[in-house]
Structure 1
Amino acid sequence: MSKSLFRWSLTAACLAGLTAPLPAWAGEDSDEETGSEPSYQINDPFPDRQLQPTSVPAFGQPKAVFYNPYGLTDWLRRHGIGVLLDNINEYAAAVTAPTKNVGDYRQGSSNAGQYALSLNVDWERIAHIKGFATHMVVTGRYGTPANRMFGDWLNHSSEIYGGGGNVVVHLVMAYGEETLYGGKLSIAAGRMAELSDFAASPLFCTFQINAICGRPRAAADTGYASTFPAGNWGLRVRGRPLPQSYIQLGLYLTEEGMFSYGMNRSGFKFNSAYINGVRLPLELGWEPKIRSHLSGHYKIGVALTTAALSDIHEDEYGEPYVLTGVSQRQHHASLNSWVMMDQKFATYRRDRFGNDSDAGLTALWGFLYNDKHVALRNWQAYGGLISRGTFASRPEDTIAVVFSYTAISPGVQRTEELLRAQGRTLPYRATGIQRHAIVMEANYGWHAFRGVLMQPMVQAFIRPNGQGNLRDAVLLGFKTHIEFL
């Protein structure tokens, strides 16, 4: 991808939270999913030279199956047009039997997938509008995850599931971006996904499990933070006061039913009928390099939501609503926050030019905290290791492990205890009291050939759905990612 849009562009949440399975942000042989772009744009320091010959950061070109057919890709990019087309497919099968006599569960397998197309246009090249570009992504999705078969709804076994409207073409994002001061300032507006820019990382989708892939699950707990494949109206401003730091803030109009098939199936529903508030995220980032070549990315952020959210335990007078029957208390201001870090600790070998290669060991870890009065997930902690090029004969392959711990809000637990005592149905599709859950994944990313990644994996669900009454589950699966253009 070299010095591409994926590295420099300080663009808005163009695509989605999917990402490339590698422990460094860049590299010519990187896998680039259409949803990876915003994460690359955020998490690389501003380049030390002016962008030429256009002030719009250059569009990247991954090592796709059809890398440059008949010179077409190069011709399009010379004329200001960048196109990416890829497909992701994720399969998972339970090797453990589900809990008996609890719910309608069964042992089985499932498959989920997505095809996506992004279109980036440099209007400085086409119409001489200095620094202006537009970005659009559409997608189609199919299938369902396997975790529902054994009763888990907290951490899906596949990141690809739902939200695509069950239509051939679903609009994810379409927005314009103006790049100023040689790339040090970016202003973007349009239909965007907040969590493609905020609380994002290109390392997350080294994994298949939805607890981490796309974005840590707690970041989107209340359903009002837009994330792939749903976008909403938004504005984002990002600047770099120093070469290896950034600050970004945004304003996103929250929409009721943003992920609902019934209310926004195609993604082309642009009216304001369901706008019910705003989200105001703020994030600070720092990208140091240890010994000049070991890259790190550190970020801290907070977001305010003004859409009305119901208290998960109390009524209008501060009493348990399940006992009084009084309407739940409404909160018109709630906060969620995050701290996320990754650091490359070692480089295994040098390339043929004597420079440090992408091969090496990277660690990632983070913590997310939500308002315990309105969120199901009170907090989430995660950590993982990614080893790229472990074997000299396989320089692009990755070995990766990750775990995630999710703590359920105390109010949810108290409410479910009261409901169970009354023999009533529990919220969140629970069949027992939800307290905490752990999920883990280990995988091997095999680059079969240019543009094709094959990734077998194993997952473990401890306390599925956060419940102690459900049996732990082990899954085996396989992910493929094919970059066509």
Structure 2
Amino acid sequence: MPRSLSPTTKIFLACVFSCAVFFSFKAEAQYRGPVSATAPLFALDTPTGYDNTPFTPPVENMLLPWDRLIKKLNKKGIGIVVDYTSESAIALNAGHGGDAGYAHQIGVELDLDWEKIIGWKGFITHAVFVNRAGHNLAADLGDHSLNGFQEIFGGGGNVGVHLVYVYGTQDLYKKRIQIAVGKMPVNIDFANSPLFCTFMNKSNCGIPKSLTRGAAGYATYPGSTWGARIRYWPLHGLYIQAGLYGVNPYLNTNKYDRTGFEMGTDLYTGVYTPVEIGLIPHFGKNNLVGHYKFGFAYDSSQYRDVYYDNNGNAAAATGLPYRWTNGKTQIWLQADQMLIRNGSGPLHGLYALAGFAKSDGKNSPYTYQIYAGLVDRGPISTRPQDTFGVEWSETMASPELVASQWIRYRQGLPLPGNTTYPQSHITTLEVTYNIHAFRGLSIQPDYQRIWRTNLQKNKPTVDAVGLKIHAVL
């Protein structure tokens, strides 16, 4: 890990902490648990209110007899959620008009409150299992990048039964400290937001995907590794959290165990250590909530350099293997702020969101990702549970990787990075509207435009329309 932070970073962190101290005295508890109404993720651990993870997500069930049974079980410390998510998309142009893809996820979550079951105060366990199947439309377009039309297809594709995570949380010191230990993804805690999976595109749903593509340490749903996380609330509305996770470059592959039930650590290559500072202020008489995060992570694993060989020359020119580099660093800065409140619910309002992520360009395929958007839940007073969203995202390829690609391209050789032309950047625009059709059922028409698929400027712009359906039993 780097011995010291740069002066610029130190100044930035000092400003963040100063602002946090100022605003935190004004922050108040908003609600219990960050749950996205439109996401395939069940419950994120990333803080969205001054409280730790809820015992079980407060979802809306379609079937009333089942809903009544679940509420009875909840009182006994047993939480069960069963849901179905499908995402279908069809390309309209770019020589792929008519190409379509369907993908789905069937998920089951089991939550146990051990205080209610055996009297173990503050201890809760969570487990999620999913079935995933379908076809990835992006593959038809030769897009192997982080941007895909159907985010639900990610994480290994077709899998009969996949263990997503199993872990426990222990609250301490009147819930000002929480410890989590188990087999879990990094992204349920770090660099996440319940607003992200308003959208179908893979670039941001879950987390900004540049953090996990080419960075095995950032295990993302439905992949998980053994790890631990501790969160501390020094002030009301201000949290600091840090984690320690195993790095498994073979997650979601047949070489390891696509089903997630392999519990061994023999293929781990290092340790991933993320740290995040979060601020949750609110403003005005309408409780306009904001969420502001700054994070830093270090992956101790070795990664191939994307340009140099062991002699310090361009590996693409010499033909020698790319050299190994020690460690990888990442940072992220994220913010969302409610601008208008539409109701009393935690997400009922118009949010503006924006963010930035950076990875180490010498051994990562992507260097920068930036995004911005609007999410409005309850935009129509008579439709309080509908959600409208628009988001723009842009991701830049590593300059070192691009330089290596140009050397091989001019020689007529195959290019590194799953590409047929030197890469540059990719831009995505998505407009979506989630319709609350019935209790526990939402139907979401979607439009996406992607410029430079696979980050290649020689590829045409692609327009696609999609449909997402989410049903909770």
The TM-score, its normalising length taken from structure 1, stands at 0.87
- Equivalenced residue count is 442
Q: Which residue identity does 1:461 align to in structure 2?
A: I
Over 3 Å counting, the alpha-carbon distance change for 1:58 and 1:479 in structure 2 is: same
Higher relative contact order (CA closer than 8 Å, sequence separation 6+): 1
Deviates more, 1:318-327 or 1:65-74: 65-74
Q: Which residue identity does 1:389 align to in structure 2?
A: G
Over 3 Å counting, the alpha-carbon distance change for 1:359 and 1:233 in structure 2 is: closer
Partner SS, residue 44 of structure 2? helix
Residue of structure 2 equivalent to 1:42: 47
Over 3 Å counting, the alpha-carbon distance change for 1:106 and 1:306 in structure 2 is: farther
Over 3 Å counting, the alpha-carbon distance change for 1:107 and 1:261 in structure 2 is: farther
How far residue 3 of structure 1 moved from its aligned partner, in angstroms, is: 8.6
Residue of structure 2 equivalent to 1:13: none
Q: Which residue identity does 1:460 align to in structure 2?
A: R
Cα deviation, 1:160-193, whole Å, max 9, x if unaligned, reads 1143563321101011211112211111111010
Residue of structure 2 equivalent to 1:141: 132
Residue of structure 2 equivalent to 1:394: 383
Partner SS, residue 269 of structure 1? coil
Counterparts of 1:72-471 in structure 2, within 5 Å, are: 72-98=69-95, 107-154=98-145, 155-164=147-156, 166-224=158-216, 225-292=218-285, 293-348=287-342, 359-471=348-460
Q: Distance in 2 between matches of 1:45 and 1:129?
A: 23
Please tell me whether the aligned partners of residues 239 and 248 of structure 1 are also in contact (alpha carbons under 8 angstroms): yes
Cα deviation, 1:358-396, whole Å, max 9, x if unaligned, reads 543110100000101011111000000112222222121
Q: Distance in 1 between matches of 2:231 and 2:170?
A: 11
Q: Distance in 1 between matches of 2:173 and 2:57?
A: 21
How far residue 58 of structure 1 moved from its aligned partner, in angstroms, is: 4.1
Q: Which residue identity does 1:453 align to in structure 2?
A: S
How far residue 106 of structure 1 moved from its aligned partner, in angstroms, is: 7.5
Cα deviation, 1:295-335, whole Å, max 9, x if unaligned, reads 00000001000111000001112210111233322122210
Q: Which residue identity does 2:379 align to in structure 1?
A: T
Please tell me whether the aligned partners of residues 55 and 111 of structure 2 are also in contact (alpha carbons under 8 angstroms): no
Q: Distance in 2 between matches of 1:313 and 1:253?
A: 27
Please tell me whether the aligned partners of residues 33 and 86 of structure 1 are also in contact (alpha carbons under 8 angstroms): no
Please tell me whether the aligned partners of residues 165 and 264 of structure 1 are also in contact (alpha carbons under 8 angstroms): no
Residue of structure 2 equivalent to 1:59: 56
Please tell me whether the aligned partners of residues 34 and 118 of structure 1 are also in contact (alpha carbons under 8 angstroms): no
Q: Which residue identity does 2:378 align to in structure 1?
A: G
Q: Distance in 1 between matches of 2:183 and 2:269?
A: 16
Over 3 Å counting, the alpha-carbon distance change for 1:263 and 1:356 in structure 2 is: closer
Please tell me whether the aligned partners of residues 133 and 159 of structure 2 are also in contact (alpha carbons under 8 angstroms): no
Q: Which residue identity does 2:299 align to in structure 1?
A: T
Partner SS, residue 240 of structure 1? strand
Partner SS, residue 182 of structure 1? coil
Please tell me whether the aligned partners of residues 32 and 62 of structure 1 are also in contact (alpha carbons under 8 angstroms): no
Q: Distance in 2 between matches of 1:213 and 1:437?
A: 16
Partner SS, residue 43 of structure 2? helix
Q: Which residue identity does 2:254 align to in structure 1?
A: Y
Over 3 Å counting, the alpha-carbon distance change for 1:83 and 1:89 in structure 2 is: same
Please tell me whether the aligned partners of residues 316 and 405 of structure 2 are also in contact (alpha carbons under 8 angstroms): no
Over 3 Å counting, the alpha-carbon distance change for 1:444 and 1:106 in structure 2 is: closer
Please tell me whether the aligned partners of residues 237 and 248 of structure 1 are also in contact (alpha carbons under 8 angstroms): yes
Partner SS, residue 275 of structure 2? strand
Please tell me whether the aligned partners of residues 4 and 60 of structure 1 are also in contact (alpha carbons under 8 angstroms): no
Cα deviation, 1:326-345, whole Å, max 9, x if unaligned, reads 33221222101100000001
Residue of structure 2 equivalent to 1:6: 33
Over 3 Å counting, the alpha-carbon distance change for 1:229 and 1:426 in structure 2 is: same
Over 3 Å counting, the alpha-carbon distance change for 1:480 and 1:356 in structure 2 is: closer
Over 3 Å counting, the alpha-carbon distance change for 1:142 and 1:229 in structure 2 is: same
How far residue 107 of structure 1 moved from its aligned partner, in angstroms, is: 4.9
* 5+ residue gaps, structure 1: 8-18, 21-30, 48-55, 99-104
Q: Which residue identity does 1:332 align to in structure 2?
A: N
Please tell me whether the aligned partners of residues 46 and 243 of structure 1 are also in contact (alpha carbons under 8 angstroms): no
Q: Which residue identity does 1:135 align to in structure 2?
A: H
Over 3 Å counting, the alpha-carbon distance change for 1:415 and 1:34 in structure 2 is: closer
Please tell me whether the aligned partners of residues 33 and 51 of structure 2 are also in contact (alpha carbons under 8 angstroms): no
* 5+ residue gaps, structure 2: 1-28
Q: Distance in 1 between matches of 2:347 and 2:402?
A: 45
Over 3 Å counting, the alpha-carbon distance change for 1:395 and 1:57 in structure 2 is: closer
Over the residues paired in the alignment, what is the CA RMSD in angstroms?
2.1
The TM-score, its normalising length taken from structure 2, stands at 0.89
Please tell me whether the aligned partners of residues 133 and 157 of structure 2 are also in contact (alpha carbons under 8 angstroms): no
Q: Which residue identity does 1:382 align to in structure 2?
A: Y
Deviates more, 1:437-446 or 1:138-147: 138-147
